[in-house]
Amino acid sequence: MLEKRQKDSGVTPSRPSVISIFICISIFGFLFHLIWEYVQCSPLFIHLKVTPTFWSMLCATIADIAILGISYLAVAALNRDVAWPWSSQNLLSWLSFVFFSASVAEGIEYFAIRGELWTYSSINPTIGGVSMVPLFQMAIINPLTLLVAKKLLR
């Protein structure tokens, strides 16, 4: 409603700074992904070479944040706008973001399985021998992170 009034009055809504965007996305992404890693690790994965310690969960979370950042920047490059979630309601941008995130995560999962870093418990959903959990993770948590950041920085 406020944005509509601002557009009608000729005033454009302010966009957050690039630094505030990346800080907010990093903090919330880190928290959401760390919780996810702890919740899904033990029931769904059997670690073969890397034991699930705090440090391994932290490393996995940092990798998740890297995927979040790479996917965000890829869509920003496509849109030619680093604040694309604030300036566009383009569904294609959001779907591209989810697609990039999920593709990178599934690629990492594929190579981890081939490298025998872990295997799956019987309740882990798989397609073609690769877990679908990273796909769900990126399809849920990464957009949620952007939505929370967008709400907070509005």
Which secondary-structure segment (H or E) carries 118? Answer: strand 118-120
What are the tokens at 75?
């869509």
Q: Domain segments of the chain: what residues?
A: 17-152
Task: Compute CA distances 141 → 61, 86, 128, whole Å.
Answer: 12, 18, 23
Band (pLDDT 50/70/90 cuts) for residue 93 is very high
Supply the pTM of this predicted model. Answer: 0.85
Helices within 2-154 (DSSP H only): 2-8, 18-44, 54-79, 84-87, 91-114, 133-152
| Average pLDDT of every residue of the chain | 89
Tens of pLDDT, residues 117-130: 888 999 999 999 99
Task: Report the alpha-carbon distance of residue 113 to residue 41 in Å, rounded.
Answer: 15
Average pLDDT over residues 50-62: 85
- Other Cβ atoms within 10 Å of 16 Cβ, number: 18
pLDDT, position 154: 83
Which three-class secondary structure state does DSSP give residue 52?
Answer: coil
Tell whether the model's pLDDT for residue 27 goes beyond 90: yes
Band (pLDDT 50/70/90 cuts) for residue 43 is confident
